[in-house]
Amino acid sequence: MQENRIEFRNVTKKIKKQEIIKDISFTVKRGEVVGIIGENGSGKTTVLRLASGLSYPTSGEVSVNGKIIEAGKSGILPENIGILIEAPTFIKELTGFDNLNYLSKIRNEITKEDIIKAMEQVGLDPKNKKKVATYSLGMRQRLGIAQAIMEKPNIILFDEPTNGLDLDGIERFEEIVTTLKKQGTSFIFVSHSMEEIDKLCDSVFKLKDKRIILQERMRDWHIVLNSLEDVERVSQLRKNVKITDRYDGKPAIVIPFKVDEDIKIFFDQLKIDYKVLVGENNDKF
């Protein structure tokens, strides 16, 4: 049985008597990537705060790495987690490396080489003498990601992880997640957009009306079209279309949809003939 790294059991959280989330339950297993989507103010970040011990549940129970996260006598905090919530704030007067170096001294578990490696993984130059005050939003986000991964925690919590990242940053981020997931690291991603996190997640939950529901997943569908003009029309409407090898001499694409009914609606509206070749699980049609 896979070990549960994070468990939310009937968790309700109120802030100033206002209910933010109500009776939510879910688990994150070893090596699992869980996404949480929802509109602004739906309580997504609250879930991350509860998992990281920055807030405690009003009722219910949060357990992280087998430890119940509660106020208790000493304000228990989870162990072995990395976190990046909202826009990361660093000490503006220091360089990126110095910021991470000072932070590493709290746990005192890693070397300068580990910090350099983490910075290089996110595409930041550890020797850069620029102060964080002069960093762009994207650079701060990269530094925030480096901060979260540098101590090799077994759980990482990310709030809008690709916020401000350019294409290179997003690719590096995806590579980091894929590599760490293979090593058994568990993740929770929070985002307002399904598209942003769907690609990386094993399961996605949606927060709506203070409750959490398992979301239908976007799957990659292999579809054969009749002409390159059709491919172009589809590409203009959907940005996440990938062109693949031709099938029987006809152009083929990979395009994400939740269910096959959505494919029908989409192509019927465009009046394009199509043929579904392979679904996400390589089911041939």
Partner 1 sequence: MINFEILRYLKCKWIRILLVICLLFVTAAFSVQNVYRFLIMSELLTAYDLFTISDYIVGTFNSAQFMMYFILPVLFSILVADIISADLDENLDQFFFTRLDNRLSYVFVKIKMIILFAIVFTILFLAVLLITGSFYHISFTTNHHHYLFLANQRHHVWVYLYVASFFILGLILIGMIVVTLSIYLKNAGVSVGIIVLLGFMHNIFYVIGFDGVLAWLPFSQYLFGHRNYFMPFGLDVPYFTTLFSLMYMIGGSGILSILMTKKIRNMDIGLGKE
- R_g of the chain, CA atoms, integer Å: 21
- Distance (Å, rounded) from C-alpha 178 to C-alpha 167? 16
Residue 67 beta carbon to partner 1: minimum distance, rounded to whole angstroms: 10
Q: Which tokens hold the place of 47?
A: 């879930």
Q: Which tokens hold the place of 3?
A: 């070990």
Residue 213 beta carbon to partner 1: minimum distance, rounded to whole angstroms: 25
Collapsed DSSP state (helix, strand, coil) of residue 114: helix
Based on the shown chain and the rule CB under 8 A, indicate whether residue 110 belongs to the binding site for partner 1.
no
- x/- mask, partner 1, residues 49-68, rule CB under 8 A, reads x--xxxxx------------
How far CA 282 is from CA of 35, 87, 219, 249, 256, in Å, comes to: 23, 39, 11, 20, 14
Out of 12, 60, 61, 85, the only residue in the binding site for partner 1 (CB under 8 A) is: 85
* 139 vs 253, beta carbon nearer partner 1: 139
Question: In the window 143-202, what residues touch partner 1 (CB under 8 A)?
Answer: 147, 151
* 56 vs 247, beta carbon nearer partner 1: 56
Region of 214 please: left (phi>0), alpha (psi -120 to 50) or beta. beta
Out of 68, 107, 137, 184, the only residue in the binding site for partner 1 (CB under 8 A) is: 107
Name the one range near partner 1 by CB under 8 A: 79-87, 163-171, 218-226, 277-285.
Answer: 79-87
Residue 212 beta carbon to partner 1: minimum distance, rounded to whole angstroms: 20
- Look up residue 131 and give its amino acid: K
Size of the site for partner 1 (CB under 8 A): 35
Based on the shown chain and the rule CB under 8 A, indicate whether residue 106 belongs to the binding site for partner 1.
yes
Pairing between β-strand 186-191 and β-strand 33-38 as defined by DSSP bridges:
parallel
Based on the shown chain and the rule CB under 8 A, indicate whether residue 78 belongs to the binding site for partner 1.
yes
- Distance (Å, rounded) from C-alpha 52 to C-alpha 56? 9
- Distance (Å, rounded) from C-alpha 131 to C-alpha 94? 5
Q: Which residues bind partner 1 (CB under 8 A)?
A: 15, 49, 52-56, 71, 73-79, 81-91, 93-94, 102-103, 105-107, 147, 151
